[in-house]
Amino acid sequence: MFSFLWSLGAFIVALGVLVAVHEWGHFYVARLCGVQVERFSIGFGKPFWRRTDKHGTEFVLAAIPLGGYVRMLDERVDTVADNLKHKAFNNKPVGQRMAIIAAGPVVNFLFAIVALFVMNLVGLQTVKPIVGEVTPASVSAQAGLESGSLITAVGSRDTADWEAVNLELVSYIGQSSIPITAQTANGDSRSLEFDTSNWNFDPEKESALDSLGMQPYRPAAKLELSVVAPDSPASKAGLQVGDNLLSLDGEPIESWEGLVATIGERPGEKVTFEVSRDGQSSTIDATIARRDTQQGQIGYLGVSPTFEPWPQGYVFVHQYGPVEALVKAADKTWRLMTLSVSMIGKLVTGDVSLNNLSGPISIAQGAGVSAGYGLVYFLSFLALISVNLGIINLLPLPMLDGGHLMYFTIEWLTGKPVSEAVQEWGFRIGGVILLMFMGIAIFNDISRIA
């Protein structure tokens, strides 16, 4: 229950911030262009807070926190007095109207730069992309990638950490090869060509790294428990943090990975552990719980191990001075923008399945997880969603900012506005398309947690 409330709260905060940023862009440029803004609302439905400023703009917080809007004076929907017609949106030059509409997405991109700039100033702890295991006969193995190698670049993009590696790998979906630069354990730099002509990557089932047959290096897991989840089978059986697991049903436990595999294969079964606690050995009976996954039912115990310490130099902190932090933030924002556009294109061409669309439930889960890790991780999440919000709003679909810009561009080129009838049909078609994609995204969210 706490996890749900935490994710919901983080989602509301994230959505509120991003909607406020987006709508502020429209509001600010409208004011600069002399348009009378009637209402600036965060949320829909019944207002629970409102205030009117000296310019006559009503600022509102409404009950349903799923969006927002800026309502401008417009003769197409309002009865406008003669002395206010010069302040109506529809009476402004087409260039100004285009600027007002474009300002929302543009401010989303600027917000992403600011969020990443702050993140770079504060510092983010991360891990170098050093390869652990390479799966035999996999794409990685066939390309000659070695365990212990440091991935320094994917294509022409440098990769300082695993997040960068994942982003760049995903950008190659649909292509026949991936060029990778790796530094071997003895310091030699090698250029590798990953053959992805038969790359079957399904983000729903595995990561890009797993699908290519490489695993990030992780310190070895010990058999000492670091976490025993509340109300889990382990907690109910009496296992405690600090317990050392010695055997399972009389068989010595050789490794944590072996234990996980065994537990996963025995859902619902009763087992007996021999543990060492404070220098004393004892036996503990437990019943393995069942957990449903896309691959079927697996066993679940509810414990996590302690790990060996990271080797020196593997973990580092992304932290920069003001100038470099700004440059890095702008570069990362641009990369997120180009990758978002690329993914939309791959959805259209079929290289990326519609099953990979995510909706509000997935976003809420992401918000909760990132907020749980701390402010800098939450800022990174906000930057990612802000960029996606900006890109989606620029799609040339009526009802979105991009649809309005499309109509205004036609007006600018032809010298006359698009007819009301054409715009009305466009809004209807755009609404159907948006509802279809929203339905698919929500269905995908529900299927992931079902």
Tokens 């079929």 belong to which residue?
350
> Pick from 363, 430, 437, 433: which is nearest to 401 by CA?
430
One-letter amino acid of 230: P
Task: Return the HEC string of 117-137.
Answer: HHHHHHCEEEECCEEEEECCC
Between CA 192 and CA 181 the distance in angstroms is 6
- The residue from 23, 75, 163, 420 that is catalytic is 23
> Pick from 115, 139, 135, 206: which is nearest to 166 by CA?
206
Between CA 164 and CA 156 the distance in angstroms is 12
The question of whether 411 is a catalytic residue gets the answer: no
Nearest 5°: the CA angle 269, 273, 274 is: 165
Q: How far is CA 300 from CA 247, 254, 290, 348, in A?
A: 17, 19, 6, 39
The answer for residues whose C-beta is within 8 angstroms of residue 16's C-beta and 6 or more apart is: 42, 43, 65
Between CA 189 and CA 169 the distance in angstroms is 19
> In the structure, how many helices (H) and strands (E) does the chain have?
12, 18
> Pick from 79, 98, 97, 67: which is nearest to 38 by CA?
79
* Alpha helices (H) along 321-419: 322-349, 360-373, 375-393, 401-414
394, 405 contact by CB (below 8 A): yes
* Catalytic positions: 23
